[in-house]
Amino acid sequence: MVQRILCEVDNCKYWANGNRCNADVIYVTNQTAEEAVDTDDTGCKTFNPE
Ligand code: SF4
């Protein structure tokens, strides 16, 4: 499966020019204790600061 992940977090070690994510897999988590209801409630746990 071809994946294309766009991301604006440019201080992550997986980030590349053009807002591309070079990680093989990303793990997205629910940032709340309840059901996520909008995008702000989710986050990338694969983020790794440079
Ligand atoms: S691992 Fe997550 S935070 Fe890092 S570039 Fe990819 S999508 Fe963005």
pLDDT at site 3: 76
**1, 19, 17: which is closest to 9 by C-alpha?**
19
In the numeric block, the tokens 């440019």 are attached to: 10
Going from the Cα of 47 to the center of ligand 1, the distance in angstroms, rounded, reads 5
24 C-beta closer than 6 A to ligand 1: no
pLDDT tens digits, 4-45: 999 999 999 999 999 999 999 999 999 999 999 999 999 999
> Which residue's C-alpha comes closest to atom 6 of ligand 1?
21
pLDDT at site 30: 98
CB 20 within 8 A of CB 7: yes
36 C-beta closer than 6 A to ligand 1: no
Q: 42 is written with which tokens?
A: 């989710």
pLDDT at site 1: 58
Q: Whats the size of the chain, residue-wise?
A: 50
pLDDT at site 2: 65
Going from the Cα of 17 to the center of ligand 1, the distance in angstroms, rounded, reads 12
Collapsing DSSP to helix, strand or coil, 41 comes out as helix
CB 26 within 8 A of CB 41: no
